[in-house]
Amino acid sequence: MNIWFMIWVFVAVILMGTFFWNMRILMWQKMAWKDFAKKHNMDFSSKGVVASGVISGAFQGFYLTVSSDPQIDEDFRGRRFVTVVQVDLKSSMPTEGVVGSPGLRRFVGDLPLAEEFVPHESSGWNPQALIKAQSAEALNSYFTKERTQALNSLMSVKGVNVLFVFNEKSTLLRFETPDPMDDAAKLDRLVGKILEAAKILTV
């Protein structure tokens, strides 16, 4: 048998296996997200059979969205999908700023914000995470020990990225994980943990 034909068959089997496995995970994810949305009286929508769904709606006093977003790998050789849980906080901040977990330190560092802010050392803040704002002084009264620890707890979860974005009009907490969250109970626990932090972070 021709060696190139054997190689082609081998590669084709791997690609087809990967495709069907990804489709299986996608189907599990959509079923889990539908169950979660139904349980909490939220909306679930999907643009197609091979497209991920989106959960949106009010949840424990916040506006919550859950989606699956494509991201380019750090080496720019491919892309991956991450589950994104985003919470709109009903509060505003005294200045514009962004807090990023260690994996987003470079991204936050490149933002055109004037000053860096470092919480008091007694808060146990992870120095690899980065806080930038137009006015660092304006954040002194906001970053209490409890709020700092709440953010730090989310940002310490292995393999995730977290952004806390705010200005004088709105505040947003964004949590990204490579886990497809294809189990409704697991998604429930994750959202619960994020909302615990969101309640503490709300002014």
- The confidence score (pLDDT) of residue 48 equals 63
- The confidence score (pLDDT) of residue 78 equals 55
- The confidence score (pLDDT) of residue 22 equals 57
Mean pLDDT by 10 residues, the chain (203 residues): 50 46 71 93 80 89 91 60 92 92 93 91 84 93 92 89 94 94 93 95 88
- The confidence score (pLDDT) of residue 15 equals 45
- Which candidate, 36, 31, 44, places its Cα nearest to that of 187? 36
Buried b (16+ CB within 10 A) or exposed e, 152-177: bebbeeeebbbbbbbbeeebebbbbb
- Backbone dihedral angles phi then psi of residue 17, each to the nearest 5 degrees: -65, -45
